[in-house]
A = this chain, B = another copy of it.
Amino acid sequence: MNKQNLPTFDPLNPLIFTERMAQILNEKQKELIEKIGVIHEQHGMQPLMGRILGLILVIEEAEVTFDDIVAHLNVSKSAVSYALNFLQLQRFVIYRTKPGERKRYFYLDIEDWDQILKKELCNVADINSFFKEVIELRGNAKPEFNNKLKDLCEFLEYLKEEIPLMFERFKKNKS
């Protein structure tokens, strides 16, 4: 089913769907959106933002309009406006427009998905920078502890170097 087709009306769903709107979500999809939302929350993201990402992943079109989000996720326009601005700022989503329409179609910038991973992996880098500061600042009362910390840092450095190489090896392996 694509956007040209009118979605079948679900009498159990109180929302009014218009012909512009993306497909109606089934239970599995709704569940998965929530789950994706929750893991994003657990990683420090705001609830609605996580669910927007879930929505984009789950719907067949792989893109949503402002109104799709309002309707499917049943939230206010202002919340959506705020969330989308944030997600764009963080480069999680981008939008395109379609000829003759003013509406924005938001989608995941998955084209270079290695970016997504790099973002995840720079968490590790963050942690490392703090460990380094810690080591700088620590006294010498617990040399064993300090050494463990240094080992950890070293490994993180190693990881940071190796991961880009892994990207390359993977790509080579594929082609």
Contacts and interface: CB of A to CB of B under 8 A. Distances in A.
A104 B66 CA distance: 53
B155 A170 contact: yes
Interface in A17-71: 28-29, 32, 35-36, 39, 41-44, 57-58, 60-62
Interface residues of A, number: 54
Nearest to A121: B124
A6 interface: no
Interface of A: 1-2, 28-29, 32, 35-36, 39, 41-44, 57-58, 60-62, 110-111, 113-114, 116-117, 120, 123-124, 126-127, 130-131, 133-134, 137-142, 145, 148-149, 151-152, 154-156, 158-159, 162-163, 166-167, 170, 174
